[in-house]
Amino acid sequence: MELTHRSTYPAPPAELSTRGTARLEIRGERVRVRRKGLALLYYLALEGPATRQKLAHMLWGHGQALQNLRVELHRLRDTLGPLGRALFTDALDPLSLAPGVLAVSAGVGEPLEGLDDISPDYQEWLERQRIKAGSVAPTSPRIDLVESLSHGIALPHVVILSGEPGSGRRSVARDLAGRLRLPFVVGTGGAAPSVNYIDLTDPGSEDLAAAVARGEERLWVLARSAFGTEPEVILRLRAAVVPERLRFVCLPPLQWWDAKPLFPTALGFTQRARYYLASLGNHRYLGELLKLAEAGQIAADRPLPVPLTVRASLALEARKLSPGARSALELVSTAAGELSTAALLAAGLGDKLPELEEGGWLRFTRTGWVFASELARRMVLELVPEGTRRLYQATLAQAATPAGSSVLASLGAGVGTEVGSRAPAVGERQVLVAGEVWLDSPVVSAAGARLIDDKVLFSRPGLPDDVSAATWGREREPLLYRVHGRTYSESGSVDLRYASKDIAITQAAEDKFDHWLLVPADHWLRVETRAEGSITELRVSAYRYSELTAAPVNAEWLVTAAVLHARPEASPLGEAAPGAVLGLATARATSGAG
């Protein structure tokens, strides 16, 4: 039955959000639809009726476009029909949405995220929509944290935010006030109820315990530095405030996906990644770089400047140390990697380590000592004159020799990735791409990995950490996987490692990449990287395929793919040498791609 009036449609409408991740929801639950189907719905919702010819050309732009549009409309009907949603009026041109079945809401975040790279014509329309909406620069990019903190708060309440200078503590407090619909007040004044923000380094914060003890309906947000010993006022609050009304929150550096809403829409991927990696996820540092860029004070061919505010803030924190501990900190800053206890003892720093650890500057791992903050290490190193820096490096090198430390390899450079010496047994084969296969969402693991819709993001600033990886489960048939996306690295390229049940290969990726891999039946696919100082965004899709000798039924592409089949004598997983695959080719179209 054709639905033409809202009163004949009792169910609440499906909903699209114009900001944040592009998605279709019904009663708050996301409905899983293909990206081109979602792109079609957004266009019709924002632009109104459009001819089928125009939509087909915009979304596909080739000879089979109208057929692809019919298939996509059929898929949408199959998906939404069982949910009681008939979005379109059948057999009419121009195509339009049925009244009252689809609503549009504003949402939060960048306009229309996740709809890029549909087609050149759609991208042009998408960018116009984003310009019309204006760039988004929220007070704090930590939207999830603000949302989490807002739950369960019963006034009076105390939240202690700990972070390095520039971590965005004040912005979190301001956004929290907005979320709770309370006035934002700096200091202990104002009329309750309110959110009172207090920097514990400001004079007068010692009176805070007495103000909290009055029991007024306030949310006290206290900002303390990640460096230095715990202020006495916090010890007093621990003794005076019941645990359920006291919360401690540490603000780590922003990850790539946290920082993305801060960037102007017109800024390209490479520039965004460059600024983010330079800032190491520090909110203030990144904000200062973006202001300089907007003012035209950053040259593309020159190193990025270090904002004076960030450098001065960390220099002031370091001055709180004793002279001996500060000298030790400067010495340790000349090594980018981990230092063994034996090497530090040999360098005469043993009596300074407790102060540096208690002050939050260094942290002890199972095998040695590292800076707790890579940004702090770089800023401290900025304070060391070149001659003194070389003297400190020589001191550490001499101390490392009898200690058997690997510090020599870390001086002035990142820690490398170990690889095996045996090459994997792989080859290349040309195949015809047939129908796409729906994949379950991958499992992302370890540090710096996040799945957002169908896109995997690897965020790897700073010192080496665990591998960032995403794994797609076993399939019952051999499949052709396409791994494509964008990457940026301070070193120029990123090694992406593709692992299956029996074998692994490594391929360097620069800027835009498009890799194809043949994976046997009952094998999983794992994509991982250890590349430091890098940002990678990728998508993975899977296809059935046929050999060139077979009839190319419904074949859309001819591609050259790496074969992840292992010979019996192949080296085991984990012993793959980098660069083993030569020329993973970008697809060459032979007919229309749906």
pTM of the entire structure? 0.68
CATH number at residue 187: 3.40.50.300
Please give the mean pLDDT across all residues of the chain: 79
Cβ atoms of 555 and 434 closer than 8 Å: yes
Q: Is the dihedral of CA 31, 34, 35, 37 positive or negative?
A: negative
Last residue of a domain, one of 201, 223, 250: 250
Confidence at residue 269, expressed as pLDDT on a 0 to 100 scale:
92
Q: What percent of the chain has pLDDT over 90?
A: 24
At residue 417, does pLDDT exceed 90? no
Question: 248-276 burial, b if ≥16 CB within 10 A, otherwise e?
Answer: ebebebbbbbbbbbbbbeebebebbbbbb
Q: What is the reported pLDDT for 8?
A: 44
pLDDT digits (tens, 9 = 90+) for 82-99: 777 777 766 678 888 888
Q: Which two tokens stand for residue 333?
A: 């800053």
User: Would 331 be classed as within a structural domain?
Assistant: yes
Contact predicate 251/163, CB 8 Å: yes
Pick the most confident of 24-33, 195-204, 291-300, 533-542: 533-542
The pLDDT confidence band at residue 426, using thresholds 50, 70 and 90, is: low
Q: Is 372 exposed, middle or buried (0-12, 13-18, 19+ CB in 10 A)?
A: middle
Residue where a domain terminates, one of 280, 296, 313? 313
473-511 pLDDT, tens digit per residue, is 888 888 999 999 999 988 777 888 888 876 777 877 778
- Is 433 found in the same domain as 374? no
Q: Which residues contact 401 (CB under 8 A, 6 or more apart)?
A: none
The whole-angstrom separation of Cα 44 and Cα 14 is: 14
| pLDDT band, very low/low/confident/very high, at 167 (cuts 50, 70, 90) | very high
Nearest-angstrom CA–CA distance, 537 and 454: 10
Higher pLDDT, 437 or 1: 437
In the predicted model, what is the mean pLDDT of residues 151-159? 88
Question: Which residue carries 């014509």 as its tokens?
Answer: 121
Are residue 556 and residue 437 in the same domain, yes or no? yes
**Do 32 and 117 share a domain, yes or no?**
yes
Q: How far apart are CA 39 and CA 34, in angstroms?
A: 9
Question: Are residues 241 and 168 both part of a single domain?
Answer: yes
* Residue 7 phi, psi (nearest 5): -65, -20
pLDDT at 162 (0 to 100): 93
Q: Are strands 246-250 and 494-499 parallel, antiparallel or unpaired?
A: unpaired
Specify whether 150 is located in the same domain as 242: yes
Residue 505 lies in a domain: yes
Q: What is the pLDDT at residue 92?
A: 76
- Whether 417 is in a domain gets the answer no
Last residue of a domain, one of 69, 103, 133: 133
d(CA 376, CA 318): 9
Measured CA to CA, the distance from residue 458 to residue 536 in angstroms comes to: 5
Evaluate if residue 276 carries a pLDDT over 90.
yes
Nearest CA among 388, 406, 392 for reference residue 343: 406
pLDDT digits (tens, 9 = 90+) for 351-375: 999 999 999 999 998 888 989 999 9
For residue 543, being part of any structural domain is answered with yes
Is-contact 219 129, C-beta < 8 A? no
Residue 522 in any domain: the answer is: yes
As a residue count, the chain comes to 594
Is 119 in the same domain as 165?
Answer: no
| pLDDT exceeds 70 at position 388 | yes
CB 440 within 8 A of CB 426: no
Q: Output the pLDDT for position 458.
A: 93
One DSSP character per residue, 64-90 reads: THHHHHHHHHHHHHHHHGGGT---B-T
Kindly state whether residues 243 and 261 are assigned to the same domain: no
Q: Is residue 189 part of a domain?
A: yes
Q: Are residues 306 and 265 in the same domain?
A: yes
Is 101 in the same domain as 189? no
Residue 550 has pLDDT above 70, yes or no: no
Q: Does residue 584 carry a pLDDT above 60? A: no
- Cα–Cα distances (Å) from 317 to 132, 311, 345, 576, in that order, read 43, 10, 25, 45
With the CA atoms of 69, 74, 76 and 77 taken in that order, what torsion angle do they form, in degrees rounded to the nearest 10?
140
Do residues 102 and 156 both lie within one domain?
no
- Which residues form the domain of 303? 256-313
393 pLDDT more than 60: yes
pLDDT in tens, 240-274: 888 888 999 999 999 999 998 889 888 889 999 99
Domain count, the chain: 5
Segments in 260-322 forming alpha helices (H): 269-279, 283-294, 308-318
Residue found by looking up tokens 């996906």 in the block: 257
In-domain check, residue 420: no
Q: Within a domain: residue 416?
A: no
Q: Which residues, in sequence order, are CB contacts of 516 under 8 Å at separation 6+?
A: 480, 481, 482, 483, 559, 560, 561, 562, 584, 585, 587
From 194, 217, 201, 213, select the one nearest 169 (Cα to Cα): 201
Q: What is the mean pLDDT of residues 380-408?
A: 76
CATH number at residue 544: 2.60.120
Mean pLDDT of 526-536: 90
Read off the CATH number of the domain in which 91 is found.
Answer: 1.10.10.10
pLDDT in tens, 431-470: 888 888 888 889 997 778 999 888 999 999 876 667 899 9
Residue 442: is the preceding peptide bond cis (ω within 30°)? Answer: no
Q: Looking at the structure, do residues 583 and 452 belong to the same domain, yes or no?
A: yes
92 and 30 in one domain? Answer: yes
Instruction: Output the six-digit token pair for 435.
Output: 């129908």
